[in-house]
Amino acid sequence: KQEVTQIPAALSVPEGENLVLNCSFTDSAIYNLQWFRQDPGKGLTSLLLIQSSQREQTSGRLNASLDKSSGRSTLYIAASQPGDSATYLCAVGTFTNRDDKIIFGKGTRLHILP
Amino acid sequence: EAQVTQNPRYLITVTGKKLTVTCSQNMNHEYMSWYRQDPGLGLRQIYYSMNVEVTDKGDVPEGYKVSRKEKRNFPLILESPSPNQTSLYFCASSPGGLAYYEQYFGPGTRLTVT
């Protein structure tokens, strides 16, 4: 059974620092991996989608990498800003008994200190 | 603007009183799904729909019903709500299968059942 883990559950860093969020998954047979941002009480916003054939995706100050063989993905945030404070979720697209589905991690709650 | 909308955003109700949470998307997406998000448990899929008149159970379908009579709408029905259904609910849509496409989430509906 596919499990997605995000460590740490919470992280506080000073403004301006570069940081890395980690995501691991137990079954390497995935189709894609997606990183989301969730602000308190709000919906999820997709940040980056990496297909299984890709190694990384970049959008502005965000860079996500994928290593399927080791079951890991990282989300790199450059020059962090207070507006980056949110919960970051990763999710893997996978195929179960009957159809495809997406499995979420529980998220890393990020707080950027001004 | 491309979006997924949910109504109501907040709802407080009593045990046993039937309720419906509406979900609508304007992106002509085929795939729609419902999730609930609970502290410590993350996001769990309730039901999903591959297309009109095609629905199937997710991981936690007990106590919920759905219907997909039109492509754009996917309401979530709680016939007899109970306190354990107090949660934050998200509707999401995708152009196709989850394994290949990005998901777009609604803003969420916070439900409290007393």
Residues 28-67 of A with CB under 8 A from B: 30-32, 34, 36, 41-46, 49, 51
pLDDT greater than 90 at residue A22: yes
pLDDT at A42: 82
A25 forms beta bridges with A4
Asked if A100 lies within 8 A of B98 by C-beta distance, the reply is yes
Whether B110 and chain A come into contact, CB under 8 Å, resolves to yes
Residue A16 backbone zone (phi > 0: left; psi -120 to 50: alpha; other: beta):
left
Query: B58-97, pLDDT tens digit by residue?
Result: 889 999 999 999 999 999 999 999 999 999 999 999 998 7
Average pLDDT over residues B19-40: 95
pLDDT greater than 90 at residue B102: no
- How far A27 CA lies from chain B's nearest CA (Å)? 14
Average pLDDT over residues A3-28: 95
Residue A111: how many other CB atoms lie within 10 Å: 12
Tokens of A52: 């299984």
- Closest residue in chain B to residue A30, using alpha carbons only: B99
> Residue A102: pLDDT band by 50, 70, 90 thresholds?
confident
Q: Closest to A102 (Cβ–Cβ): which among B88, B98, B108?
A: B98
Q: Is A89:A110 a contact under the CB 8 Å cutoff?
A: no
Q: Is A6:A107 a contact under the CB 8 Å cutoff?
A: yes
Residues of B in contact with A9 (CB under 8 A): none
Most B CBs within 10 Å: which of A102, A103, A104, A108, as the mutation test of the B interface? Answer: A102
Whether B105 and chain A come into contact, CB under 8 Å, resolves to yes
pLDDT greater than 70 at residue B99: no
Residues of B in contact with A34 (CB under 8 A): 102-103
pLDDT greater than 80 at residue B100: no
Query: A73-91, pLDDT tens digit by residue?
Result: 999 999 999 999 999 999 9
Of A11, A32, A8, A36, which is closest to residue A22 (Cα–Cα)?
Answer: A8
Of A27, A33, A20, which is closest to residue A74 (Cα–Cα)?
Answer: A20
pLDDT greater than 80 at residue A100: no
Average pLDDT over residues B32-57: 92
Asked if A99 lies within 8 A of B110 by C-beta distance, the reply is no
Whether A13 and chain B come into contact, CB under 8 Å, resolves to no
C-alpha separations of B53 from A21, A100, B60, B98 in Å: 40, 18, 20, 18
pLDDT at A98: 64
pLDDT greater than 80 at residue A66: yes
